[in-house]
Chains A and B, each alone.
Chain A
Amino acid sequence: MELDLFIRYGPALLSGFGITVLCWIVGSLGGMGLGFLIACLYQWSGSWGRACLQAYIEAVRGTPFMIQLFILYYGGPSFGLLLSPVQAGIFGFIIYGSPYFAEIFRAGFQAVPTGQFEAARCCGMTEWTIVRRIVLPQMLVSITAPLTNFMIILTKETAILSVVTVPELLFETQTMAAETFTYIEPFLALSLFYWAMVEFTSWLGRRVERHVTRHQNRQTP
């Protein structure tokens, strides 16, 4: 293995990794926020509103991420939406992830017994207070694992951003491979970066899970 290759291309790979992480974190946090909003709207809207939200969820889940990116990045200018590759990547990530996050949150809402809502309503709490103080903390217990899981799936979807020329990790790796005619080393490095992201995410998920379930096994004699 030629180490000087990595010295030469190290900065580019690192900057690619930085952009991958940026798109991943901003995109998935945004997607989580949008998904949460959709789940809340779903919880409190009538049958028409629900049908519309369901249609959005099905449409986004039924189409490839790449096509969604193309519509945003190449099709966007047709309706006055001019985005840089990184902006398109983040924006695309938010839209792509939102229905999956919405489904996770919706299942989380359903896991909280109706009696919990009723008890809170009987105390005169507002719906927002109920969500914030009663539902969310309990829901976190059941949704942490699927959230972590989906965050891990999203780490890998970042690779697709290279197709719309986002200078992320895969893009930089391909540049390196094309310029140096080496394939094994760049792809090994690439795999290490993804592996690190996945490991970090599952470590974080385990910590959060321990934190949100702490009240479940606290037994005082």
Chain B
Amino acid sequence: MTENSSSPANALITARGLGKHYGTFQALSGIDLDILKSEVTCLIGPSGSGKSTLLRCLNFLEAYDEGEVRIDGQLVGWQDGKASPRKPVSATKLREQRRQVGMVFQQFNLWPHMTAAQNVAEALVQVKGLSKAEARDKAILALARVNLRDKADNHPSALSGGQQQRVAIARAIAMEPRVVLFDEPTSALDPELVGEVLNVMRDLAADGMTMVVVTHEMGFAAHVANRVAFLDHGKLVACVPPDEIFRQDPADPRIRSFLQTYRERNVV
């Protein structure tokens, strides 16, 4: 792909020439990526390769320095135009853009002073302007989708890590976003709790939710993703269907050596 390549018609998010640096450290450079509607895209790669940074650029939690991210053709975070240096969009505009993008974090980031249902309902009331009763009904529905209906009135401190992460997923999907970003959603969980979270994510994918997932769960990437993007040292090495990554002899030596560590542990 080149910087000017046109994006497929069913692309929801397009990144072109995306770059981000912290001081002199180049965290990302020249990323061209399309996120297609109703597809699951997994971002994999060694730690420090820029996966999470890339994900956080997509909803402008990190302000990218070069290139652009567009959702439905609309530039995210920066004002469109030729001005240099670029000016950030207004706070109102940014909030509007972020409402289209749900996010699930590694550390769940639930609000500890609210129950599960209140966590889910909060943004429905404060951002979407629903009444408390409507928001609660919707929250219960969202919690039912992650199989946590019966935990609606528990505080996060009374839930297991896997349950907390499922509440966080319910919080994201209740806003009816067009895409949900997952930032290593199972990395902070005990191994026996990983499965319940992945199952919920698999159901979401089956329902046609557009998802971008940074993960170390190669099984999930291999079996659920439509496409897998491999990053190394801030560069996108490949973005292809999973078979091409997880076959016995991947084309790129960087992918081969990365997967080797997993093969040795019989994960794939």
Residues of A within 8 A of B (CB): 113, 115-116, 118-127, 129, 133-134, 137-138, 141, 215-220
* Cβ-defined contact, A122 with B112, below 8 A: no
* Cβ-defined contact, B96 with A122, below 8 A: no
Query: Are A123 and B157 CB-contacts (below 8 A) given A129-B126, A138-B113, A215-B113?
Result: no
Q: In the complex, which residues of chain B have a beta carbon less than 8 angstroms from the beta carbon of A120? A: 111, 123
Given known contacts A118-B61, A124-B175, A215-B112, what 9 new A-B pairs fall within 8 Å (CB)? A119-B110, A119-B168, A120-B123, A121-B95, A123-B99, A125-B127, A138-B112, A218-B155, A219-B157
Query: Are A115 and B157 CB-contacts (below 8 A) given A121-B98, A124-B99, A127-B91?
Result: no
> Is B220 at the interface (CB under 8 A from chain A)?
no
* Cβ-defined contact, A218 with B158, below 8 A: yes
Query: Are A124 and B123 CB-contacts (below 8 A) given A138-B113, A215-B112, A220-B153?
Result: yes
Query: Are A122 and B101 CB-contacts (below 8 A) given A218-B155, A220-B158?
Result: yes
* Cβ-defined contact, B157 with A122, below 8 A: no
> Is B246 at the interface (CB under 8 A from chain A)?
no
* Cβ-defined contact, A220 with B154, below 8 A: yes
Query: Are A122 and B61 CB-contacts (below 8 A) given A133-B126, A219-B158?
Result: yes
Taken together as a complex, chains A and B put the C-alpha atoms of A34 and B245 apart, in Å, by: 58
Query: Are A119 and B111 CB-contacts (below 8 A) given A124-B99, A124-B123?
Result: yes
Taken together as a complex, chains A and B put the C-alpha atoms of A133 and B171 apart, in Å, by: 15
> Is B47 at the interface (CB under 8 A from chain A)?
no
How many residues of B are counted as interface, with CB atoms below 8 angstroms from the partner's CB atoms? 31
Taken together as a complex, chains A and B put the C-alpha atoms of A218 and B157 apart, in Å, by: 8
Q: In the complex, which residues of chain B have a beta carbon less than 8 angstroms from the beta carbon of A215? A: 112-114, 155, 157
Q: In the complex, which residues of chain A have a beta carbon less than 8 angstroms from the beta carbon of B187? A: none
Query: Are A126 and B105 CB-contacts (below 8 A) given A138-B112, A218-B157, A218-B158?
Result: no
| Most chain B beta carbons < 10 A, residue from A116, A120, A141, A215 | A215
Taken together as a complex, chains A and B put the C-alpha atoms of A127 and B126 apart, in Å, by: 11
Residues of B within 8 A of A (CB): 59, 61, 91, 95-96, 98-99, 101-103, 105, 107, 109-114, 122-123, 126-127, 153-155, 157-158, 168, 171-172, 175
By Cβ-Cβ distance, the 3 closest A-B pairs, closest first, are A123-B123, A119-B109, A124-B99
By beta carbon, the residue of chain B nearest A118 is: B61
* Cβ-defined contact, A125 with B123, below 8 A: yes
25 A-B residue pairs with CB within 8 Å: A118-B103, A119-B168, A119-B171, A122-B61, A122-B98, A122-B102, A123-B122, A123-B127, A124-B96, A124-B175, A125-B95, A125-B127, A126-B95, A127-B91, A129-B127, A133-B122, A134-B111, A215-B112, A215-B157, A217-B157, A218-B157, A219-B157, A220-B153, A220-B154, A220-B158
- Which of A122, A125, A129, A138 meets B103, CB within 8 Å? A122
Taken together as a complex, chains A and B put the C-alpha atoms of A124 and B95 apart, in Å, by: 4
Q: In the complex, which residues of chain A have a beta carbon less than 8 angstroms from the beta carbon of B155? A: 215, 218
- Which of A115, A124, A126, A219 meets B109, CB within 8 Å? A115
By beta carbon, the residue of chain A nearest B156 is: A215
- Which of B105, B114, B123, B172 meets A115, CB within 8 Å? B105
Q: In the complex, which residues of chain B have a beta carbon less than 8 angstroms from the beta carbon of A217? A: 157
Q: In the complex, which residues of chain B have a beta carbon less than 8 angstroms from the beta carbon of A129? A: 126-127
A68 CB to nearest chain B CB (Å) = 37
Q: In the complex, which residues of chain A have a beta carbon less than 8 angstroms from the beta carbon of B110? A: 119
B48 CB to nearest chain A CB (Å) = 20
